């Protein structure tokens, strides 16, 4: 595997650790810092964080499977990074909104959500670019 693929995997794994730790914090300590009404916001952040960590791993596997010499490699790698960036912005803004409510943080959630959407479209492009091309039909 190439270094960019390994780096994406390491960052995704660290984000997976972070998502599990923050989910555990919600179950065992968040009630000391936040109200019961804020808990669903935190849980939404954890859920989207973990979903997109898994999506980054899928993009990493696709990148590793197709290899750097193929058409979809960079697209799949880019999708993985978009998922990671989206998780940090979207979920991170929800975590911060619960712990330190600030109005200016709200713009980062839609930005992170937009990165999720672009990541999914980018992953589709990566897969389509790997689609086998038909040879010219001989007559």
For each of the domains in the chain, give its residue range(s) and CATH number, in order of start. 3-129 (1.20.120)
- Alpha carbon separation from 114 to 15, 36, 41, 82, 88 (Å, rounded): 19, 28, 18, 9, 12
Strands (E), 54-131: none
Query: Following CA atoms 72, 77, 79, 83 in sequence, which dihedral angle do they give, to the nearest 10 degrees?
Result: 160
* pTM beyond 0.75: yes
Residue 107 contacts by C-beta under 8 Å, 6 or more apart in sequence?
none
Structural Rg of the chain based on CA atoms: 18
In total, the chain counts a number of residues equal to 139
| Cβ atoms 73, 35 nearer than 8 A | no
Q: At what angle do helices 3-28 and 39-66 cross, to 10 degrees?
A: 160
- Alpha carbon separation from 5 to 30, 64, 129 (Å, rounded): 35, 7, 18
**Sequential pLDDT tens for the chain (139 residues):** 789 999 999 999 999 999 999 999 988 888 888 888 888 988 999 999 999 999 999 999 988 887 766 778 899 999 999 999 999 999 999 999 888 877 777 789 999 999 999 999 999 999 998 777 665 544 4
């Amino acid at each position: 595997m190439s270094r960019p693929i390994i780096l994406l995997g390491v960052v995704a794994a660290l984000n997976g650790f972070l998502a599990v730790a923050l989910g555990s914090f919600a179950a065992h300590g968040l009630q000391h810092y936040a109200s019961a009404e804020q808990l669903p916001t935190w849980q939404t952040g954890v859920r989207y964080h973990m979903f997109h960590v898994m999506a980054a791993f899928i993009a990493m596997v696709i990148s590793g499977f197709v290899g750097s010499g193929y058409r979809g490699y960079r697209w799949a790698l880019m999708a993985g990074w978009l998922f990671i960036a989206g998780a940090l912005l979207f979920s991170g803004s929800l975590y911060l909104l619960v712990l330190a409510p600030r109005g200016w943080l709200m713009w980062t959630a839609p930005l992170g959500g937009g990165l999720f959407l672009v990541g999914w479209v980018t992953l589709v492009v990566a897969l389509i670019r790997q689609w086998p091309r038909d040879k010219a039909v001989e007559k």
